[in-house]
Amino acid sequence: MKGRTVRRHFRESFKSLGRNGWMTFASISAVTVTLLLVGVFAIIMMNLNKVADDLENDVEIRVLIEIFNDEAEMKAAEEKLIAQIENLPDVSEVVYSAKEDELNDLIQDFGDELSLFEQNNPLHNVLYVKAADPQATAKVAKEIDKLDYTYEVLYGEGKVEKLFSFLNISRNIGLVLILGLLFTAMFLISNTIRITIIARKDEIEIMKLVGATNSFVRIPFVLEGMWIGLLGSVIPIVVVSTVYYNLYHTLAPRLKGNMLELLNVTPLLYQVNALLVLIGLLIGIWGSFMSVRKFLKV
């Protein structure tokens, strides 16, 4: 194909947007509405996913270390236990907390009355262990329990399992919903484009009769579909970005230090916007490609 033909196809695709005024408008609106839905939904789902991840990552195992009267013996036991735990396959992090620190935490949380215990601290030294995969917490806890020098291994048995199964179910529901929405978007947009092309099937036939090759007929249509997808993603991107930006800056300070936190604006909006442009382009191209194909057999 020669350069001037490529230029001709681009020129023709732009002209065609104008010539088909209302049809173009209808197609772009369909893309806009669906992509707006997809964008809002994607942001909600990604934030819910983050909350779920945060909840999961909060799950940790508390290993109370057995108490020895002899300092040296105690130290040796602790070191051995830490080494053994770090060697377990699924462990990602082991943090040591001396019983004095533990008591300080309690005093901070529950008040100065507890400072009486500073004379004779009844607490254990503690290891905080995180599993590489939070879902493996129970398994890791059981393995730690088998080791020597542990006094007690706690991880919120029962509650954690419930939390995980709840999170898994909600993740799956979210996935199904987003797939359904994407499917609907593709169907809706490519259908609108198909209608605009059916209205022009005589034109396609005439072009073929005059001696145009299939690609000569098809390329301007496909480019046109691409512009429609691209133009249709503009409003959703602007709306989603502005709304989330403002929402984030109003809500984020209030949520600080809370379990629930919103995803940062910067990577999230880039990701969602890229997704919207990509979906718009792909569906536009695919929709017109498939619709033209049917009328090329002349």
Partner 1 sequence: MIQMKNVIKKYPNGVLAANGITVNIKQGEFVYVVGPSGAGKSTFIKLMYREEKPTSGEVTVSGINLSTLKNARVPHLRRQLGVVFQDFKLLPRLTVYENVAFAMEVIEEQPKEIRKRVMEVLELVGLKHKVRMLPNELSGGEQQRVSIARSIVNKPKVLIADEPTGNLDPETSWEIMEIFEEINRQGTTIVMATHNREIVNTVRKRVIAIEGGMIVRDEYGGDYGYEG
Q: In the complex, which residues of this chain contact partner 1 (CB under 8 A)? A: 1-2, 4-5, 8, 19-20, 202-203, 205-214, 216, 298
For the record, the structure tokens of 69 come out as: 């009267």
Decide whether 8 or 194 has the Cβ nearer to partner 1: 8
Cα(230)–Cα(226) distance, integer angstroms: 6
178 burial (CB, 10 Å; 0-12 / 13-18 / 19+) is: middle
Task: Name the minimum Å distance from CB 214 to partner 1.
Answer: 8
Output 139 or 208, the one with its CB closest to partner 1. 208
Report which of 73, 182, 47 is spatially closest to residue 125, judged by C-alpha positions: 73
Q: How far apart are CA 28 and CA 223, in angstroms?
A: 14
CA torsion angle for 290, 295, 297, 298 (degrees, to 10)? Answer: -160
Taking the least distance from each CB to partner 1, the nearer of 212 and 282 is 212
The 8-class DSSP code of residue 51 comes to H
Residues near 231 by beta carbon (within 8 Å), at least 6 away in sequence: 28, 31
Judged by beta carbon, residue 102 or residue 205, the one nearer partner 1 is: 205
Contact 37, 195 (CB under 8 A): no
Write the single-letter amino acid at 30: A
- d(CA 102, CA 244) in angstroms, rounded, equals 40
Closest distance between partner 1 and the C-beta of residue 92, in Å? 59
Least distance from partner 1 to the Cβ atom of residue 29, Å: 21
Kindly tell me which of 210 and 259 has the beta carbon lying closer to partner 1.
210
User: Nearest approach, Cβ of 208 to partner 1 (angstroms)?
Assistant: 7
Rounded to the nearest whole angstrom, what is the least distance from the CB of residue 216 to partner 1 in the complex? 6
> Tokens 């049917």 — which residue?
294
Q: Which residue's CB is nearer to partner 1, number 18 or number 111? A: 18
Burial class (CB in 10 A: 0-12, 13-18, 19+), 120: exposed
Q: Which is nearer to partner 1, 23 or 85 (CB)?
A: 23
* CB of residue 215 to partner 1, shortest distance in Å: 10
CB of 28 to partner 1, least distance (A): 19
